[in-house]
A and B are shown apart, each in its own frame.
Chain A
Amino acid sequence: MSRDQHDRAAMSDERLDITLREFLDWQAEDLGGAPDRTGMLARVTVRPARRPGITTTAWRMAILALIAVALMAALLAVLARPPQDPVAPFGRGRITFGFTAPGASAQVLSVAFDGSDPRTLWPEEATWPVVSPDGTRVMLAHAAGQGRETTTIVSADGERSWPIPLPADLAVNLVPGAWSPEGDRVALDGWSETDPTLNGVWLANADGTGLTRLTHAAPGTEDLPVAWSPDGTRLLVVALASGSDTGPLEVVPLDGGERIRVTREDQVVWFSSFGPPASWAPDSASVAYVGIGRANGMVGAPFVARLDGSAPLRVGDHAAYDTGARYSPDGQWITYDRPVDASGRHQLFLVRPDGTDGRQLTTEATAGMGLCCATWSPDGGSLVFQGGPDATATLFTMALDATVATPLREEVGAYAQPAWR
Chain B
Amino acid sequence: MRTGRGESEAVGHGLPVQEAGADRDAVLTQLVVDHYDRLVRLARLVCRDGADAADAVQVGLEQAWKHRASIREPGAARAWLDRVVVREAVRIARSRRSWFARIRHLETEVDPVEPADPRGEPSPDRVVLRAAFRTLTPDQRAVLALHLHLGYTIAETAAIVGAPVETVRSRVRMARERMRQELTGVPR
Contacts and interface: CB of A to CB of B under 8 A. Distances in A.
B117 A31 contact: no
Interface residues of B, number: 59
Nearest 8 pairs between A and B by C-beta? Answer: A344-B106, A32-B50, A28-B41, A34-B54, A9-B186, A8-B184, A24-B149, A320-B110
B68 interface: no
B100 A20 contact: no
B140 interface: yes
Contacts of A321: 102, 106, 109-110
A373 B106 CA distance: 16
Contacts of B41: 28-29
A298 B134 CA distance: 13
Interface of A: 1, 5-6, 8-9, 11, 13, 16-17, 19-21, 23-35, 37, 40-41, 43-48, 193, 243-245, 272-274, 297-299, 320-321, 339, 342, 344-346, 370, 372-373, 386, 388, 390-393, 414
B45 A47 contact: no
Given A24-B145, A46-B100, 13 more contacts: A8-B185, A8-B186, A24-B148, A31-B49, A31-B53, A33-B50, A34-B53, A37-B58, A47-B95, A48-B95, A273-B98, A299-B110, A321-B102
Nearest to A22: B126
Given A5-B186, A243-B139, A320-B110, A24 B144 contact: yes
A162 B126 CA distance: 53
B148 A346 contact: no
Interface string B41-58: 110110111110111011
Label chain B's interface by main secondary structure.
helix
Q: Which of A16, A24, A193 has the most CB of B within 10 A?
A: A24
Contacts of A373: 99
B91 interface: yes
Contacts of B109: 297-298, 320-321
11 contacts: A8-B184, A11-B184, A20-B129, A20-B144, A23-B125, A26-B122, A28-B44, A31-B44, A273-B97, A299-B110, A386-B99
B100 A27 contact: no
Interface of B: 2, 5, 40-42, 44-45, 47-51, 53-55, 57-58, 62, 91-92, 94-95, 97-104, 106-107, 109-110, 112, 117, 119, 122, 125-126, 129-130, 133, 137, 139-140, 144-145, 148-149, 167, 176, 179-180, 183-186, 188
Contacts of A386: 99
A54 to B, nearest CB: 12
A326 to B, nearest CB: 16
A29 B42 CA distance: 10
Contacts of A35: 50-51, 54
Contacts of B130: 23, 27, 30
Contact of B106 (A28, A33, A273, A320): A320
A244 B99 CA distance: 17
A82 to B, nearest CB: 38
Contact of A32 (B49, B129, B184): B49
A43 B55 contact: yes
Contacts of A6: 186
Contacts of A391: 100, 104
A393 B99 contact: yes
B103 A346 contact: yes
B140 to A, nearest CB: 7
Nearest to B44: A31
Contacts of B97: 48, 245, 272-273
B179 to A, nearest CB: 6
A395 B17 CA distance: 45
Given A20-B176, A41-B62, A26 B126 contact: yes
Contacts of B145: 24, 28
- Kindly name the residue among A26, A28, A339 whose own CB sees the greatest number of chain B CB atoms within 10 A: A28
B148 A34 contact: no
B48 to A, nearest CB: 6
A263 to B, nearest CB: 19
A48 B94 contact: yes
Nearest to A32: B50
A370 B133 contact: no
B158 to A, nearest CB: 14
